[in-house]
Amino acid sequence: MNHPPPPQRTAMQPDGSRLIKFFFGEELPFVSHGRGVFVYDTDGRRYLDGCSGAVTASLGHSDPEVLRAMREQAERITFAHRGTFHNAQAEQLAERLGAMTGYPYVFLCNSGSEAVETALRLTLQYWRERGEPERARFVSHAVSYHGATLGGLSLSGHPQRRWVAEALLHGFNELTPPYAYRFAQGRDDAAFTAFLTQGAARVLDSHGPAAAGVVVEPVGGAAGGAITPPDGYLPALAGLCRERGLPLIADEIMTGLGRTGTILAAQHWGVRPDLVVLGKGMGAGYAPVSAVLVSEHVIDTIAAGTASVTNGHTYGGNPLGSAVGLAVLEAIESRDLVANAATRGKQLRAGLENLAGRHEVIGEVRGLGLLQGLELVSDRATRSPGEPVGSLTRAIVLAARDHGLLLYPATGGINDAVLVAPPLTITAEETDLLLELLDGALTTLKSPLT
């Protein structure tokens, strides 16, 4: 049999790899293994995981209890399709999630993006079961990120991630972001909250009978770097939704399950959304697993109608992922990691504020618990980001990596920012080390950076 000749390598593949990477030709270390809050490369270098991978590895690496649960489940069965079998692991995971969060219903998925899509589809089905199929217009914030699928990107105010698919996307990202550093324009928190709320009311009312719901990150993640709203805003937005009978959907993929010092970040403001999307820390990097928490009135409406959900993905609710999710939730509760996130979060925040006092490149420190963000600026007086935008973010991520610290880039195309979000298991001593490494990385940067 004649085989085609092997493809020619191009200049964009200098290492000869067939694997398509984020940035063609970028040289990154190869990962070897992880232990606790540390990751090691194949050259033996150690890195403190200051961002939990992608705000995912909430238990750190190689957790023995989670690995034990994985092995035990893998020896029984790893996959059974939900259309053929129920499985005890998925049932137990849903029960545990409901008990932890107070939500009566749980839909299991694999990734955060899938869970966002599921939340949108459940909401659309809710309206159709009510006889209002024209309600299909969602609303989200102009600086936000809700996933890589077309529905998630339609919600996302993240130009760098939207641009390729723009022709296929909806412009759901209409709301002024609760991002005081760049949008308050001198207003105090009360005035900024009123400004945001009035604007949100106008947007919702402009869509009239087409409005389907509001999607919000209680604390913004990848598009801005721990954007924390003024205290009155999330309750006010929830109030607007209640007045109009619209579901409020909270994207807690980054913030959920203890990251901010409460089980759900919306609890900081006493808000109970109609649907909550979970991911990332739910599987803690050990297996892909995510979920949508759903309120009674949504599922009761569907149950009174077609009594079926026309949604799902091949691996959703599989026994292995569910067993891992259950082990992660057990660890969070049994080790009191939500309280640890609150305590270590205060230590981390104080340390970051101290660094901001000594490094001009830090324009603002913000966030809750162990989800902290640094706004990076080339000039504090003008609040100018890097030139080009994103250059400061890349510079500090690389400098930190050289010092043995991993940070997560969070520039959405209008700013420079990084997330500092170590595992919920981090100790006081490890938090001090994180701050020491970050101080060293900041010291190596020029101020202002060019």
Sketch the domain layout of the chain as residue ranges: 64-334, 336-444
Contact 326, 96 (CB under 8 A): yes
Please, what's the largest Cα pairwise distance for the chain? 75
pLDDT at residue 447, rounded to an integer:
44
> Is 336-444 CATH 3.90.1150.10?
yes
Burial of 258 (0-12, 13-18, 19+ CB in 10 A): buried
pLDDT at residue 9 is higher than 60: no
pLDDT at residue 21 is higher than 90: no
Residue 425, token pair as written in the block: 């298991």
| Range with lowest mean pLDDT among 157-171, 193-207, 210-224, 329-343 | 157-171
End-to-end CA gap in the chain: 57
Confidence category of residue 11, pLDDT binned at 50, 70, 90: low
pLDDT at residue 42 is higher than 70: yes
Confidence category of residue 160, pLDDT binned at 50, 70, 90: confident
Mean pLDDT of the chain: 94
Over range 388-413, report the average pLDDT: 94
> Is 64-334 CATH 3.30.450.40?
no
Residue 349, token pair as written in the block: 């925040």
* CA atoms of 197 and 379, how far apart (whole Å): 31
* CA atoms of 163 and 176, how far apart (whole Å): 20
pLDDT at residue 12, rounded to an integer:
58
pLDDT at residue 351 is higher than 80: yes
Confidence category of residue 85, pLDDT binned at 50, 70, 90: confident
Over range 356-368, report the average pLDDT: 97
pLDDT at residue 312, rounded to an integer:
81
pLDDT at residue 2, rounded to an integer:
60
pLDDT at residue 7, rounded to an integer:
56
* CA atoms of 284 and 57, how far apart (whole Å): 4
> 152-163 burial, b for 16+ CB within 10 Å, e for fewer?
bbbbbbbebbbe
pLDDT at residue 13, rounded to an integer:
59
Over range 272-296, report the average pLDDT: 98
